[in-house]
Structure 1
Amino acid sequence: MNPVAGHLATRSPLHDILAPRGIAVIGASTDPTKRGYKAMVGLIKDGFRGNIYPVNPGADMILGVRAWPSVADLPGTPELALICTPAPSVPGLIRECGRRGIQGAVILASGFAEMDAAGASLQDEMMAAARAHGVRLIGPNTSGVFNLHHRLNLLALDNVKPGDVGIVSQSGNMLLSLALEAQHNGQVGFSTYVGPGNQTDLGFNDYLRYLGEDRHTRVATLYVEGFRDGRKFLEVAREVAAMKPVVVYKSGSTAQGQRSASSHTGALAGSYAMTVDLLRQSGVSVVQHSDEILPVAEGLGLLQKADGRRVAVIADGGGQATIAADRLAEAGLSLATLSEVTRARLREALLPQASTANPVDVAGSTDAHPSLLATCMEIVAADPGVDSVFLVGMFGGYSTRFAESLLGDEMRGAEAMVDLANATHKPLVIYSLYAPIKPPALRRLHEAGLPVYASIEHAVRVLAALGERGDYLARAHGQAREAAFAPLPARAADIARARAEGRDLLEVEARQLLRDHGVAVPEERLVRDADELAEVASAFGETPLAMKVVSRDILHKSDAGGVRLDLVGEPALRAARAEILAACRDHAPGADIEGVLVTPMARKGVEVIVGVIRDPIFGPVLMFGLGGIFVEILEDVAFRAIPLSRHDARAMVDQVRARRILEGARGAPGVDQAALVELLLSVSRLVEAYPGLEALDLNPVIARDDGYSVVDARVIVERDPHHKETTA
C-alpha cells in the first residue's frame, strides 16, 4: 500500500513534535505502575530512533538509560517533552521546557479545567507559560500519543501494528478498543495516535491538518466528544477530505449523551443531527456505531472512493442476497441495473437456474467451481452501469464446507480477484461468513489489499462511505460557494439602530431586508393608527388579509393573541385591530406596540421553515425543513454551514424526509423546488452580508408549484454588550 502525501495551506507544527529526534520524559520512574515508567518501556521496546532523556532528580539511571535531575541539565535539546508529573507542577515545567528550547509537550495529568475553577486557573497559568515560551501543548488530561512509523510509543501499547490509519480520540479506552480490534483483524495498522485531552492549545483541527499532511497516513479517523473550534475544523476537513478520507465518530447522539459530553444546546440547532450534517457537508464520513469505525476506516483507506452509488451484488445464497439488498437500500445505495450484455455473459458462465438480475444469485453454480465467483465479479465490473461490486456469501470456505480438493480452485479465484482489483478502479468489497476463521483464500485477498468483512452491515457501511466520498470529490472541484450580497446602507442602518436600541428587527424591517435581497415577501402595510385602515381596505379590496401585532416585546404573536386571519373590508380590519391591541396589552402590559402589520393571506401550499443561527461552535448555520408549529416535534430538518454552494442548497431540499410531500403527494402538485434552492442561497448570502444578524427565522414559508411566500419573518440582531435592556 503506497503512502499518501498531501499539502495543505500551512505546514503543521506537529511534524517536529510527533517525529522528534529527542524526547525528555519528565517524571520518568522506576515504579512499574507509573506512566513515567510505562512510557520509557514503550520507547525502549519499540526502538525509538532518537535520544531519550529521562528527567528525575532522584535517579541516576532508569531502565538502563542515563537520567537527569532537571530539564535545564539535559545535554541536548529534544523537540518533545512528555510530562508525567502532577498538575500543580506543570506550569513551571512548561517554563523550563520553553527556556530549554523544547518545541512541544504532552501533558498527561488531569486536574485542570475539566475539574473545577481552581483547575481552570491552573490551566490558564499553564497556557500563559506556553505562549510566553513558544511551547505547543498536547493535553492536558491526554491519554498520550504514538507515531509507530517513527517508533514513538508513549502509551507502551503492545502488538500494535504500524499502518496507515491515523487516529485522534478523546477516549483512551476507544483507542484501546480499536487497537485490540485491529490486532484481531490482523490487517489494519496505525500511523499516528493523539489523545487531544482538554484541547487547551492544539485541537482537533490541528491534529487533522497534521494527519492530512502525514505521508504515512492514508485515512484520518477521529472519535469526538466535543469540538473547541468547530468552524475551523470544518475548514480543515474540507481541505483534507479532498486529499484523503476522513472518518468521524461523534458521540452524544442522544440528549443524555449530549449532556454527558457537555455538548451545546438548543432544541434543533446545536443537535447531534446538525453536527453530522455539517461534517458530511465538509466531506467527512460519519459513522454512527462504534463498531463501524475501523471497518469504514480500513475500507476507505484501501479503496478511497466509488464513482457512484450503484452496487452489483453477487451471492451464492438467496437469503444473504436479500439481506444485502435490504441493507443497501437503507444506506441510500441502489442496485445497479445490469445491461443485457452483462446478463448474457453471466448466463454463459453459470448454470441455467442462476439468476442474472441484480442481486446475481449463482444458485449452486460455484459449489464445485468457486473461482466462478471471480469470473462473475469481472463480468459485472465491466458493466458501465456498475460503480461497486459486492461479493456476498461463503467464498474462502468452499474447501471447508464441501471438499478440501476445492482449495486450489478457491486460491485461483482469489488470485483472479486480486488481478481484477488491480485492473479496475471500481471498489470490490467482500463479505464472507468464513471471515472470522481467516481461511487461505481470504488471507490472500487481505494481503493484496481487498477488504473482507464478517458482517454484511459493515460491508454495506463501507460501500456507502465510498459512494459518499465519490460524490464529495465529484462536487468539490466544481461547486464554488455563493458570494455574499453587497450590504445595502439603508438595511445596515436598520440593523445598527436595532442593535443600539437593544431589540430585534421589527417584522416590517425584516421583510424589507428580505425583499431588497430578492426574497419573495408579500406586500404589507404597517398600520399605526386606526384612521389608516380605510385606505388599507381600499387598496386590498376583496383580498383576504392577515393582521399581526408589531412589537419589539412580543416575540410569539399567536401566544399573545396578536394574530387575526381572513379579514375582508374595513369593519373587519377595525375589529381585528382592536382585539389584537386589547389581547396584547393584557398579555404584556408594558409592551411597546408599534402598530399592526396587514398583508394578504398566503395561498395554500406546503409549509417549510428556513432558519439561521450563529452556533457558538460552528458559526453561522442554515436550517431547512418541514415548517409550521410542529417543526420541533417532527425534527425533519437539514443543516448546512454558511456559506452554501448550490449543491449544498439542493442537497438540503433532497435530504428532508418530507421531500415526497414537496414532490407532490396524493395528486397534489409538487412545489417549485428550484425556487426553494434559490431562497436558501439568498438567505445564506444575506447572512454573510450582515454580520450583525444573530439569527433568522422564516416560519412558515408557503411553498407552491409556482414559487413561495414568506409568511412570517423574524430577524434577531446581535446585542450591544453595553446596552441596558429596558423592556419588560
Structure 2
Amino acid sequence: MNPIKGHLAPRSALHDFLAPDSIAVVGASLDPTKRGYKAMVGLVKDGYPGTIYPINPKADQILGIKAYASLADLPGPADLALICTPAPSVPELLRQCGANGVKGAVILASGFGETGTEGARLEQELLAAARDAGVRIVGPNTSGIFNLHQKVNLLALDNVKPGDIGIVSQSGNMLLSLALEAQHNGQVGFSTYVGPGNQTDIGFEDYLRYLGEDVHTRVATLYVEGFRDGRAFLDVARETTALKPVVVYKSGATEQGQKAASSHTGALAGSYAMTVDLLRQAGVSVVQYSDEILPVAEGLGLLQQARGKRVAVLADGGGQATIASDRLAEAGLELAELSDTTRSRLGEILFPQASLANPVDVAGSTDTKPSLLADCMAILAEDEGVDSVFLVGMFGGYSIRFAEELLGDEMRGAESMIELARKTDKPLVIYSLYTPIKPPALRRLHEAGLPVYYSIEHAVRVLAALGERGHYLSTCADHDVPSALTPAPEMQAVFARARDEGRDLLEPEAKTLLRTHGVDVPIERLARGAEDLAAVASEFGERPVAMKVVSKDILHKSDAGGVRLNLQGEVALRAAHAAIMASCQTYDPAAEIEGVLVSPMARKGVEVIIGVSRDPIFGPVLMFGLGGIFVEVLEDVAFRAIPLSRHDARSMVEQIKARKILGGVRGEAAVDQEALVDLLLKVSSLVEAYPDLKELDLNPVIAYDDGYAVVDARVIVTENPVIEEADS
C-alpha cells in the first residue's frame, strides 16, 4: 500500500471555501422541499463543527439556529456562501458576499448561459460582480458540494461515508449513482465532491489542483462532459498524476475542431479518441464505461500502481480462468511467464492434476482447504516475473458451497492474504462470484483494504489501470521535451505573405519549411508552364516521376484530377501536364494554378500520416497513423498534445494497430521507427516555432528501413495567430 507523497504548489485558493470554517446559507428555508432547507438538514444532521449562518428575512431561526435577514447582518465573515435563490438575484448577492468577506459562493440556480442569450448576459453580469467582489464561484447551475471530512454536506445525502475518493462531476445524477454504488459496496468512501456546473469561474483544472493537494483525497475522479480549458487541465493533470491517481470518464465528443477542419488531421481531431489519448499522455486513467468509474477509483486508491503489466492468474475453475485470460489480453495485459521455481513450489502443495502454467488452476485442491489459495498467492507474488496477482473464482463461498466447517479456514486464508498485502508491493486483486452476498471472508478482505470485485471485467480494468499508471510513473524521467526551435526569418516572411494574400502555403513552400528545419524531403522542381517541362525532363532523365498541381484553390489534388504518377520522359510529362490542366479547370474554373510540381517517384515503403491541428479546447495536437487515402476511413491514428517528449513520440508509433506492419511482415523489412520518432519531434518543434501554422498534413510519409520520405505536405495558415509567451 503506497502512501501519497508530497503535494502540489502553490496552494489552491479553493481550500479557503471547500473546507470552510463558516457557511452562510442564503435562502435557508423552513420548507422541506427547498434546497435551502435540505442544505441546513445536511449540515445539522452530519454535525458540521463550524458556524452556520441561515439567511432568511422572514425567519428568526431555522432548525434551532439563529437566522439573519441578510449577509450584511452577520456578526462575522463566512468562508462559504451557499446561494439557493433564483438566478436574477445572484449578482447583487455576490456583491454582498464581497462586502462580508465571503471567499467562495456555491450557486445552485439555473437560468444562465445554458438557457440562451439572455441567460448568457446574466451569467456575464454574475461573473463581473464576483470578480469585483473578490468572490470565487462554484457553478452556477451546480448540484452543490460536500466535504465529508469537514462534515460539510450541502447535498444532504444520507449514508455516504467519508473516504479518500474525491469527485468532480458535471452530472448530479452520476454523483448519486456513485454514492448509491458506494453504499452497496460498503467500504468505499468520499472526500470532496463538487458539481462544476457552467464553470463560469472555476474549471476542472482548478478542482483537480485542489484534489491533488487535499490530504484526504487519495484518488481524484472526474465525470466530464466538456472542458473549459483542456490545455490547462492537461498541465495540472501532469502535476497531479505524479502524486496520486486521476480517473476520468469523458462523455460525448468535441465537435468544434471537426466543424472547421480542412485537412485529414483536422477532420479526425476534436474526437473522443483524441481526448482519451491526450488525457492518457498526462497520466490520467480513462474509463470507457460508467460502471467502471468507482471500481477503478477504488482499486487505484487502494493499490496506487503496479510495476508492470504481467499478471499471474490463480483460479479454482477452468472456465473463469479462461475468461480472465481473454479479458487480460484484450486490456493489453500479459499472462506472466512463471519461473520453474514457482511452478515447482505450487506443485508441492496442489493436487497432481492442477495446472501450473499461467493461469494456475488448482483443480479441486482447495475444496477442503481454501486457505491454500493464500499460500499460492504468496508463491506467485514472490516470482520476479509477476507484477500483479489476480485471484479468480469462489473464495469466500467455500463454506457456503461445500461445508460450514470451512468458514474458519477461509477466514485464516483471508488473514494470510491481508498479511501478504502488507508485505508485498505487488497488487493483489480478487474476483469472487460470491461478492454480491458479502460473506465474512470477503468482508474481512475488503475492510483490510484489498479490492474485491463481483465482475471479472471490472477487476481486469483495475489491473489495467494499475499497470498503465506504473508504466507512466516509471517513464516520467523520459517526459522532458526538446529545446525550442528558432524560427527562420525567411519562413516567417513566407507565412506573413500567405496570410496577407488570404491563402495557405503552397506545397513547395510547405516543403521548404520542412527542409529548412532538417526534415528529409525528396528533391522536386516546379514547372510553371509547359515551356519548363523540357528542362525538368532533362534533369530527371528516365527516372519515373510524379506530377501534382500547385494551386491555392485546390486543396485535395486527387479529387480534382491533379495528380499523375509513374511518368517517364518529356512526352509523358507534356501529356500529363495537359491532362492535369484540363481536369483542374473543369473541377474549379476559377482556380489560380501556379504550375505543377515534379519529383521522383518514391520507392516502395509503408505509408504513414503525420499531422497537426490546433484544437479549440486542447490547443496544438499532433497525429500519427496509417497514411494514404484511407486515413479517415480506418482512423488508425494516435494523438498527443504538443510539445512532445521522445517518450510521447515513441508511444505514438507503438500505439497504432498497424504497428506490426512497421515491424515488417511477409518478408518486408522493418521500418526505421527511430527516424519516425525524430520526424514527429521535429514537427512538434515546428508548430511551437510558427504560431501562423494552423493545420499541417504530411500524407503520405513513406517509411523505409533506412529513413523516410515526405511525399506530400500541406500547411494551412491561421488568419490571426496567437503568439504564446514563453514561460518565465
Please report the TM-score for the alignment, with normalisation by the length of structure 1.
0.96
Distance across 1 between alignment mates of 2:691 and 2:221? 34
What residue is the counterpart of 1:185 in the other structure? 185
What residue is the counterpart of 1:149 in the other structure? 149
Distance across 1 between alignment mates of 2:252 and 2:470? 27
Alignment partner of 1:114: what SS? helix
Equivalent position amino acid for 2:413 in 1: G
Contact 2:692-2:721 at 8 Å conserved across structures: no
Alignment partner of 2:640: what SS? strand
Confirm whether residue 477 of structure 1 aligns to residue 477 of structure 2.
yes
Contact 2:505-2:717 at 8 Å conserved across structures: yes
Contact 2:546-2:565 at 8 Å conserved across structures: yes
User: How far apart are residue 263 of structure 1 and its match?
Assistant: 11
What residue is the counterpart of 2:594 in the other structure? 594
User: How far apart are residue 568 of structure 1 and its match?
Assistant: 1.2
Distance across 1 between alignment mates of 2:478 and 2:637? 26
Contact 1:5-1:214 at 8 Å conserved across structures: no
Distance across 2 between alignment mates of 1:109 and 1:651? 45
Alignment partner of 1:685: what SS? helix
The 5 A counterparts of 1:606-621 are 606-621=606-621
Gaps of 5+ in 2: 723-728
Give the 3 Å change call, closer, same or farther, for CA 720–243 of structure 1 in structure 2: closer
Distance across 1 between alignment mates of 2:288 and 2:427? 22
What residue is the counterpart of 2:317 in the other structure? 317
What residue is the counterpart of 1:386 in the other structure? 386
What residue is the counterpart of 1:726 in the other structure? none
Give the 3 Å change call, closer, same or farther, for CA 687–259 of structure 1 in structure 2: closer
User: How far apart are residue 691 of structure 1 and its match?
Assistant: 1.4
Equivalent position amino acid for 1:655 in 2: Q
The 5 A counterparts of 1:496-645 are 496-645=496-645
User: How far apart are residue 83 of structure 1 and its match?
Assistant: 0.5
Distance across 2 between alignment mates of 1:178 and 1:249? 13
What residue is the counterpart of 1:36 in the other structure? 36
User: In the TM superposition, what whole-angstrom CA distance separates every residue of 1:393-431 from its partner, at most 9, and x where no partner exists?
Assistant: 111111111111111111111111111100000000011
User: How far apart are residue 66 of structure 1 and its match?
Assistant: 0.9
Gaps of 5+ in 1: 723-728
Contact 2:138-2:202 at 8 Å conserved across structures: yes
Give the 3 Å change call, closer, same or farther, for CA 611–246 of structure 1 in structure 2: same
What residue is the counterpart of 2:207 in the other structure? 207
User: How far apart are residue 5 of structure 1 and its match?
Assistant: 5.9
User: In the TM superposition, what whole-angstrom CA distance separates every residue of 1:485-523 from its partner, at most 9, and x where no partner exists?
Assistant: 221111121112212222111110100111121212110
Give the 3 Å change call, closer, same or farther, for CA 625–136 of structure 1 in structure 2: same
Contact 1:5-1:215 at 8 Å conserved across structures: no
Alignment partner of 1:559: what SS? helix
Distance across 1 between alignment mates of 2:284 and 2:403? 45
Give the 3 Å change call, closer, same or farther, for CA 695–320 of structure 1 in structure 2: same
Distance across 1 between alignment mates of 2:335 and 2:495? 52
Give the 3 Å change call, closer, same or farther, for CA 231–553 of structure 1 in structure 2: same
Equivalent position amino acid for 1:338 in 2: L
User: In the TM superposition, what whole-angstrom CA distance separates every residue of 1:464-505 from its partner, at most 9, and x where no partner exists?
Assistant: 000000001001133312223221111121112212222111
User: In the TM superposition, what whole-angstrom CA distance separates every residue of 1:421-443 from its partner, at most 9, and x where no partner exists?
Assistant: 00000000011111111111111
Contact 2:166-2:190 at 8 Å conserved across structures: yes
Distance across 2 between alignment mates of 1:148 and 1:556? 58
User: How far apart are residue 56 of structure 1 and its match?
Assistant: 1.2
Equivalent position amino acid for 1:146 in 2: F
The 5 A counterparts of 1:85-484 are 85-252=85-252, 267-484=267-484
User: In the TM superposition, what whole-angstrom CA distance separates every residue of 1:605-630 from its partner, at most 9, and x where no partner exists?
Assistant: 22111110000000000011111111
Distance across 1 between alignment mates of 2:426 and 2:127? 49
Contact 1:544-1:600 at 8 Å conserved across structures: yes
Contact 2:2-2:304 at 8 Å conserved across structures: no
Contact 1:3-1:217 at 8 Å conserved across structures: no
Out of 535-544 and 304-313, give the one that drifted further. Answer: 535-544
Alignment partner of 1:539: what SS? helix
Aligned length: 718
Distance across 1 between alignment mates of 2:474 and 2:721? 45
Alignment partner of 2:445: what SS? helix
User: How far apart are residue 590 of structure 1 and its match?
Assistant: 2.2
User: How far apart are residue 2 of structure 1 and its match?
Assistant: 9.0
Distance across 2 between alignment mates of 1:301 and 1:527? 64
User: How far apart are residue 579 of structure 1 and its match?
Assistant: 2.2
Contact 1:387-1:427 at 8 Å conserved across structures: yes
Give the 3 Å change call, closer, same or farther, for CA 192–75 of structure 1 in structure 2: same
Out of 64-73 and 578-587, give the one that drifted further. Answer: 578-587
Distance across 1 between alignment mates of 2:388 and 2:2? 22
Alignment partner of 2:666: what SS? coil
User: How far apart are residue 536 of structure 1 and its match?
Assistant: 1.1
What residue is the counterpart of 1:50 in the other structure? 50
Distance across 2 between alignment mates of 1:3 and 1:509? 54
What residue is the counterpart of 1:26 in the other structure? 26
What residue is the counterpart of 2:693 in the other structure? 693
User: In the TM superposition, what whole-angstrom CA distance separates every residue of 1:288-312 from its partner, at most 9, and x where no partner exists?
Assistant: 0111100000000000000000000
Alignment partner of 1:365: what SS? coil
Contact 1:136-1:202 at 8 Å conserved across structures: yes
Distance across 2 between alignment mates of 1:649 and 1:573? 39
Give the 3 Å change call, closer, same or farther, for CA 560–509 of structure 1 in structure 2: same
Distance across 1 between alignment mates of 2:354 and 2:523? 66
Contact 1:414-1:445 at 8 Å conserved across structures: yes
Distance across 1 between alignment mates of 2:239 and 2:89? 38
User: How far apart are residue 705 of structure 1 and its match?
Assistant: 2.1
Contact 2:91-2:125 at 8 Å conserved across structures: yes
What residue is the counterpart of 1:670 in the other structure? 670
Distance across 1 between alignment mates of 2:353 and 2:571? 80
Distance across 1 between alignment mates of 2:620 and 2:535? 41
Distance across 2 between alignment mates of 1:406 and 1:579? 86
User: In the TM superposition, what whole-angstrom CA distance separates every residue of 1:93-116 from its partner, at most 9, and x where no partner exists?
Assistant: 111111211111000000100110
Confirm whether residue 657 of structure 1 aligns to residue 657 of structure 2.
yes
Alignment partner of 1:477: what SS? helix
What residue is the counterpart of 2:726 in the other structure? none
User: How far apart are residue 665 of structure 1 and its match?
Assistant: 2.4
Distance across 2 between alignment mates of 1:106 and 1:428? 41
User: How far apart are residue 130 of structure 1 and its match?
Assistant: 0.8
User: In the TM superposition, what whole-angstrom CA distance separates every residue of 1:171-205 from its partner, at most 9, and x where no partner exists?
Assistant: 00000000000000000000000000000000100
Contact 1:5-1:216 at 8 Å conserved across structures: no
Contact 2:611-2:695 at 8 Å conserved across structures: yes
Out of 266-275 and 506-515, give the one that drifted further. Answer: 266-275
User: How far apart are residue 3 of structure 1 and its match?
Assistant: 7.3
Give the alignment's Cα RMSD to 1 decimal. Answer: 1.8
User: In the TM superposition, what whole-angstrom CA distance separates every residue of 1:505-544 from its partner, at most 9, and x where no partner exists?
Assistant: 1110100111121212110111123332222111111111
User: How far apart are residue 721 of structure 1 and its match?
Assistant: 8.9
Distance across 2 between alignment mates of 1:406 and 1:604? 68
Equivalent position amino acid for 2:247 in 1: V
Contact 1:4-1:217 at 8 Å conserved across structures: no
Distance across 2 between alignment mates of 1:565 and 1:354? 63
Give the 3 Å change call, closer, same or farther, for CA 2–350 of structure 1 in structure 2: closer
Alignment partner of 1:320: what SS? helix
Contact 1:264-1:271 at 8 Å conserved across structures: no
What residue is the counterpart of 2:8 in the other structure? 8
